[in-house]
Chain A
């Protein structure tokens, strides 16, 4: 099997798993998860093989001649729109992180959905499991977690999702990328609303779909415009065509003074704003936490939301077309601004969240903002680097939080306490009860905070700051540095509240470490959260720079037609990043180290009104409800349907009908009845009389009728033949 065939096959196992489970094995739990995880394994294996071959081929070779293969898909006019797959350096590293995170999360899901546990006492489809009562050998009743009632369905959905993500990554063109993009959107919708009977989940699933669709329709326009202008959607045909890019950058589009490249770039970027939950379309991601935690980890941290960033990274040559001498193009400026703003904005909200998953959700929004901002200032490699490290450590953190929630639930069942298992102020002291979860979560948390040298997050975040600094984008640099401080602070707040100190509730005291299917993925991801930074250590970094070559930079940079150089080393950004990371971590620990059970957030009083605003996410949900959702419903129901269609249009029709009706009445009363009917009656009466006189023929005897018929037929025939044969 050739490498190209293998690339085509990568997305298929999870898709097949989806269909097999939905159609055949949906009642068999063990078989379903075996198929699904097995499919994820096959895709993982294939990806590793492809990755290995890609690396072996060498950066420059692969950059110039990626593994690519395409087929005719749509006949349009006298040409074909081709679709295909391609593995260039960017795809290769993308495959690497997708394969690992997806595979790990599939394994984790087995434990998370309580495989091996008994059926729940009152569990219903569409609601999370509520626990089962078991009687042990001594006759004591225990309440234990119960298995998810829609277990097989879950594995089918995540299979379909994996298909979407693999499709997106290996696409060589914008169209199939968009196909994968939207399939993931559907899965995100289905999985956020996995427990569809919960009204909150139902609201969240729709919110997610519609909010991202706002971005998607702009993106669709962008794709249409791109295709119309370039006559192709193939990435390399566009990016490696210097002349075309130049033409796009210099042709005015006629909209807002943008060039064609600028307009298309911004339209596509709006797609990313939706998908990667950037301001102002960020509102859906926190609510998406309604879904099961593996979903949050996979879709809403590691892969789908990252795909938004991946897309703009992919489109970078187009977005930066026309940029000269460090000047940013319009799309890049938009990205730098939105990205940096979102990074800070979301980080500030995370400070005041108490739900362990919501903190991570805002953290994800914030970190995605980092990547977007990085790309906006042209820090291409840094954006990719942070995308990779973030995928690992954020997936790890989410899975860790799921493990914590599970441990807490175990404790809650044990002591029968009615508390929220996701509220961090109910936790505390879990490091002793759940050591594996603790150590791995710590690794992820430190990576997120950018703890120096040993964590992957440090290297990638530092590179973004260094790039912003050395290119003189002070605003971006300052904003991101401040956001990094907040990040370290809320991360340490989370770790301190959850794991350190003493248990704040009885349930937390009885929490239990989770099953190996959950802890194994944590350990694997923790290794990446620590170690993955070493592939991208800058050459000129003091002491350790150059010990290991900056492999990542050399590898992915060949994706671009023009290779960018590494930025020079400077102490200022390094010191900044050391100060904010360590400072934030220390403050987070210091403020929250002794929060007693039942106490409020120590910052709530001193911050007062600001805290409330942060806790309520700057009231964006309420604001959007007033200015978008309510008016849209009112407009649809009242203006568009009731007033326009029913009152005005139908009103006019009814008016015309009424006139016609009344005209008809007039005609009938003044013309029909006296004139026509008078005449008609006369005709009728006469006919009756004639009929009477003809009645004699109607004997009712069939023979006689037949005879008459025969006579007439023969006569007619005779007449006909006669007329034909007479010259």
Chain B
């Protein structure tokens, strides 16, 4: 016992170094982005004094703001549809594991996870084009097609997350509910859904992030008036990244930090309640 303790103490400075290195590696770039959003100069690399000028200009920049709003809208809608479809897929895969077809379906669902984005984007573009030829819908590309494309690959991630949660769920809970006379739909909403709820939230957040982040697929399937935030940022890189983008990123980071803190606090409180009950 004491030997182990000594060993641990010997490793102590290393642990701290590794931890510090990890923090710097993860957060130094974000920190520099935030610091330079308060830079007076237009050049990203030259510090010329503190100012909130870029936040003011960001509020005037209709193009950037509407792109950010479009991205948030697309991400929220796509994540929500992906959660619904992904949950259905996961239910099917876990409950009908023995059926033939379910196994191959399990593999097919994972395909978008490993498919290069550019192939996904191109194939979706071709699909939308031939659909427009055959059935006249979607007549034009834009927000709707971006949402559909994002649902396609987000769904795969949600399925994987929900599936693993479902697989470890205690089936006797559902059986007990059915024994007591609940109909399957009732069982799903009162038993299954609460048990897998954390994985739904995790899947939704994952899908939201992936959709917000996507440039390649969106630039293939978008149309007039549907320019997402990554597309605007990328197209302005040629003339140098304006500090307005730093300012926007800082705001997004602030919102995420607040949201994560609130979620963390709620989870902590729930955890405490649960231990108190026991």
Q: Do A and B bind each other?
A: no
Report B's interface with A, CB cutoff 8 A. Answer: none
